[in-house]
Structure 1
């Protein structure tokens, strides 16, 4: 991995976290100059496209492309052009919201992601059947998810006020980003990284793959249930979450006792990240399975705090944890205490903010009102995240050496 790229992606993460902190501070103090909605757009775009997208860009480039393909200049050009769009969005969205410049930069980002996806499809190593299939699935979902973006653009251009369709289009994009592109890209990297240790059979893998794929596609029905209250969509989602649970159980069963060998191959910081990753993966599966209960499905689609909490559960506890895990594989340094401290701070900040949001969401669900100092507690807990990122950045910025452990 290129050290400069890693640092750039982490700076994007820091910017997104500071934007989020400002948004939470707006509920504690009056910030006259802040346009909350515009800043929210800036925060979400930088977090998703500047941090998660570029994080997976970096790791896929380092791990899943043969050296002679990864060395092509096009990937360097794509990285820096994409970073240019991220900086554009980070400036344009807080100032003007959805307008000429922000739409230009976000559209250019999509075009660049298409080019990256096509290049990776052609260039990636096909030696590992499992990783290759998962990566190609991720790429297809990347294309599919952007349909939602173009529908949103059409609605905004036509100004027809179709609020339900607007929200459904946004959720289409987010659903197939989180449950499609990002999830399957993570799994492709995970099997590439740990496949030799976990030794899942082709039969068990195919069972897991098809159950998860079908379950994740069908689970979009929950959004349709929220938008139109179609009864059949509730039952489709119920089938979907059962399939997702069966997929996870099939995966866990196939690994057996290999987990011990896997854990023994990791540093202390990596073990913490792996534990967080697995815990969140199981938690999100249990949450989704709980939606077969009508009251839970109603709660999940109506309470904004649960929606935000679930998005952050995925972004911080799952995808971020895996990117950090991969980053630590390629960095050998004497300052492991900094790396471990950063991971511990990430873990504390993540757990505290999730606890506060879900607890307040439960209060609203039970009509208990707002518990005291909710916004203050959420703001101060959120302060831990940029500190964690800065600590992680410091570990990478200090002089050390990279252990190039790619699959080239």
Structure 2
């Protein structure tokens, strides 16, 4: 068991390595406006996004799911084969996307990653013990994996769309948004919810069946309907705005149910978490709540048009979700389950860098919207803020708490 824990800790650190690489690529993108960097911007964007989402988040979440639901079942060697095959696909993407963008070899490795995710999904469903059968956490974990599988429809249809309609087609963007929506709001958020519920269940704090069903179906229907918010750049009929808005409201309702339940068991949870972890849990909840309010706001035509016209609003929102809700949630759970010893000083540096970059990205969006002139030093400061995030992540990787 100790050997397995060591292996899972190493896997968590490998996931963090991918986040460091993604942050380094992000810094290249930030300084592209400051220095003459001999790279193709679009290629680096592809590498940055793939390594962040599929390297860091996917590996961290699958490691946590294995730790919580599958550890101790004597299936470590089978899991190791899946893990190392996944590494092959990720390293392949890292060595191809920055130099060729979407081309033969990068597409091959991206496709192989999809097969790796299918392999893990089948492995998880097949091996999860029956004792978790009725656990709310497992229901959410299985739903998260379903969304992971559903999101992969986007990349599969993308190739056909490029060949038949071309990359300028509205369907090309819809396929990408379909993939991102169900990856972010489905797989990532639902998996984090599953891990949180597992933590509560271990403290014997369990959602009553009726309340859980209300939460579960509100969140799932909200995820499905809020996809229509990703279609609003096409300026569709009012029905799409309504469906997207309903999805956003349902997600907020699910959040309210979960928050109310958590408050009921708050004293018990506080005893199980250190003050730092408890505050971090509160920060993640706050970031998640704001994310869903922003999502609801985008259901209004005026704000939907703003997000389409000024891309920094969308970039800020995506980074809010990824660097804020998802990454800080992963830091919390990896630290709690002893898969990553979070250095507090470097975490606070990361939080500072995150806050600065978000403030600057949203400020630039507002400045373009209000036709304000950006100061000449803006891109340099944004680049330095991004370097702060990178420095913090390197510190978290190398300077773990003992």
* TM-score, normalised with respect to structure 1: 0.91
SS across alignment from 1:343: helix
1:348 aligns with 2:355: no
Partner residue of 2:114? 110
Partner residue of 1:140? 146
Cα distance in 2 between the residues matched to 1:284 and 1:301: 17
Partner residue of 1:68? 73
Distance 1:339 1:197, change over 3 A: farther
Q: 2:173 aligns with which of 137, 143, 167?
A: 167
Partner residue of 1:44? 49
Cα distance in 2 between the residues matched to 1:348 and 1:14: 16
Cα distance in 2 between the residues matched to 1:44 and 1:146: 15
1:255 aligns with 2:257: no
Q: What root-mean-square deviation, in Å, do the aligned CA atoms of Structure 1 and Structure 2 show? A: 2.0
- 1:327-374: CA deviation from partner (whole Å, max 9, x where unpaired): 2124399xx7x7111211111111111111112212222232434422
User: How much does 1:155 deviate?
Assistant: 2.1
Q: Is the 8 A contact 1:360 1:371 kept in 2?
A: no
Q: Once structures 1 and 2 are overlaid, which stretch shifts more, 378-387 or 152-161? A: 152-161
Mapping of residues 6-405 of structure 1, within 5 Å? 6-31=12-37, 33-68=38-73, 71-128=75-132, 129-158=135-164, 160-195=166-201, 196=203, 198-331=205-338, 339-396=343-400
Q: Is the 8 A contact 2:33 2:379 kept in 1?
A: yes
Q: Is the 8 A contact 1:224 1:230 kept in 2?
A: no
User: How much does 1:43 deviate?
Assistant: 0.5
Please, which runs of 5 or more residues in structure 2 have no aligned partner? none
* TM-score, normalised with respect to structure 2: 0.92
User: How much does 1:198 deviate?
Assistant: 4.1
User: How much does 1:48 deviate?
Assistant: 0.5
Q: Once structures 1 and 2 are overlaid, which stretch shifts more, 187-196 or 257-266? A: 257-266
SS across alignment from 1:160: coil
Cα distance in 1 between the residues matched to 2:208 and 2:15: 35
User: How much does 1:80 deviate?
Assistant: 1.3
The runs of at least 4 consecutive aligned structure 1 residues that moved more than 4 Å come to: none
Cα distance in 1 between the residues matched to 2:89 and 2:339: 31
Matched pairs, number: 393
User: How much does 1:66 deviate?
Assistant: 4.5
Partner residue of 1:405? none
User: How much does 1:290 deviate?
Assistant: 2.1
SS across alignment from 1:86: helix
Cα distance in 2 between the residues matched to 1:343 and 1:271: 14
User: How much does 1:280 deviate?
Assistant: 0.8
Cα distance in 2 between the residues matched to 1:18 and 1:291: 30
